[in-house]
Structure 1
Amino acid sequence: MALIKSVRGFTPQIGENCYLAENATIIGDVIIGDQCSIWFNAVLRGDVNSIRIGNRVNIQDGTVLHTLFEKSTVELGDDVSIGHNVTLHGAHVGNNALIGMGATLLDNAVVGEGAIVAAGALVLANTIIEPYTLWGGVPAHFIKKIDPEQSKTLNQRTAHNYLTYAAWFKEDK
């Protein structure tokens, strides 16, 4: 069973029909929507500020979500995919966005709806990524605009695939 820990009077709230890997860690002021999946070795550390996660979000293996005390929060919209080994520190990610494996997003960065952050990218603090754009590199920079329908198809397919994967693990209990 996942480690779910209260701190400073805050107890994580988990939505309906979520999958939490046995070694996922969820601490403090964290609210997770419905049909989400939190995968192996992921850490959602809401000890110093809030983490808010929409519906059908997948937070993949080894990812860390954290914030700055009284300065930044984490907010993820609906149908967001956070790739393996992402560090997301005090950033906001809009609906239907995809954050690639190994990316790092720093405090008060904003990723717009349907945007894609490429694997390994470093999104600096206070960066604003417009909706339906692709960003990558170190530091991350604008690469190109993405057709909204293509973005929606790709990003929602990834998010919905993780609903299927989570169901496999629920069945094998």
Structure 2
Amino acid sequence: MASLSTRVAVAASGAARRMGAMLDGLGANIEVAKYTEKLVPSTRFIAVDGIAPAVGGSNNFVAPSASVIGKVSIGDHSSVWYGATVRGDVNNVTIGTRTSVGDRAVVHVAKIQGDIPTSIGDNVTIGAGAIIHACTIESLCMIGESAQVMDGAAVGTNSIIAPGAIVTPGTKVPSGELWSGSPAKKERALTSQEIASIAESAHEQLELAYLHSVENSKDYKQLIAEEEDRLDREVRGKGQGAWFDPNIPDPDDVLGQGSPGRIFNSTLTHPEEGLKLRAEQREKNQ
């Protein structure tokens, strides 16, 4: 009976496989639109019409989820943060040195309403969610979170655009002023401390970009090693010193020969030297 049931099971499974293959072939034949599943390619750097972005070098940070597209030039020590888009598809975008484009910010150009590129100077901090569209931002400026600088506008050096402000098309923001509101208007002149804070903000973003650049450059082997080291040190800490760590000086060390009873805590290459030092120490104490 066992052999008969086995033959029946094998025959049934073979028939099921043949039926599945027949149905799969039938479905493929009656498909109207062929579908092929593809892996999503990286969108960090994308060429348009054969022109790829030009990024300063290894000292730049472009987040894995950011997109830099087409005719874009980015200077040294600049950063494009997570979810941000810099799109030079219908015109060119120029970004200077030590400038940061914040999370989810959009930098674009214009073609339909005038042939206007986008130019951003040095030491500029663009806040999260801001829109920079076909305009000029001179060096040492701060553009607040969710602010907008629109087509043909120009922001002078040492200026601040407040969060949420909208600089309308063609508006000229003079140097050294704070603009806010929708549409944005002059709020007041900046103080010397506020002007100094613009450069400080750019420097802070630069240091933060270096940190993220190092972390994002690590491969999976480095991440696993760091996690294992963290867990190991955590266990050592809970053990209250019961584990020996060669990187931490041992307070119980005796004349460079290690802690008594811990034979693995010392090389013991020249134990006689330790004995001499101990004898000398005793003579001094007497």
Band of TM-score, shorter chain: over 0.9
Question: In 2, are the aligned partners of 1:32 and 1:52 still within 8 Å (CA)?
Answer: yes
Amino acid at match of 2:155: V
Q: What SS does the aligned partner of 1:102 have?
A: coil
State the partner residue of 1:115.
159
Q: What SS does the aligned partner of 1:167 have?
A: helix
Q: What SS does the aligned partner of 2:83 have?
A: coil
State the partner residue of 1:5.
46
Question: In 2, are the aligned partners of 1:49 and 1:67 still within 8 Å (CA)?
Answer: yes
Question: In 2, are the aligned partners of 1:100 and 1:117 still within 8 Å (CA)?
Answer: yes
Question: In 1, are the aligned partners of 2:104 and 2:128 still within 8 Å (CA)?
Answer: yes
State the partner residue of 2:110.
68
Q: What SS does the aligned partner of 1:163 have?
A: helix
Residue deviations 1:31-79 (CA, integer Å, cap 9, x gap): 0000001000000010000100000000000000111115211101100
Q: What SS does the aligned partner of 1:160 have?
A: helix
User: How many angstroms apart in 2 are the aligned matches of 1:2 and 1:57?
Assistant: 21
Greater fraction of residues in strand:
1
TM-score in terms of structure 1 length: 0.96
State the partner residue of 1:14.
55
Q: Which 5+ residue runs of structure 2 have no aligned equivalent? A: 1-41, 219-286
TM-score in terms of structure 2 length: 0.59
| C-alpha deviation, 1:2, in angstroms | 5.8
Amino acid at match of 1:10: I
State the partner residue of 1:92.
136
Residue deviations 1:116-160 (CA, integer Å, cap 9, x gap): 00000011000000000000000000110113x434311111100
User: How many angstroms apart in 2 are the aligned matches of 1:2 and 1:95?
Assistant: 28
State the partner residue of 1:54.
96
Indicate the structure (1 or 2) with the bigger Cα radius of gyration.
Answer: 2
State the partner residue of 1:30.
72
Higher mean displacement: 8-17 or 28-37: 8-17
Percent identity at matched positions?
A: 33
Q: Indicate yes or no: 2:81 matched with 1:39.
A: yes
Higher mean displacement: 87-96 or 163-172: 163-172
Q: Which 5+ residue runs of structure 1 have no aligned equivalent? A: none
State the partner residue of 1:169.
212
Question: In 1, are the aligned partners of 2:44 and 2:62 still within 8 Å (CA)?
Answer: no
Q: What SS does the aligned partner of 1:40 have?
A: coil
Q: Indicate yes or no: 2:189 matched with 1:145.
A: yes
**What is the root-mean-square deviation of aligned Cα atoms in Å?**
1.2
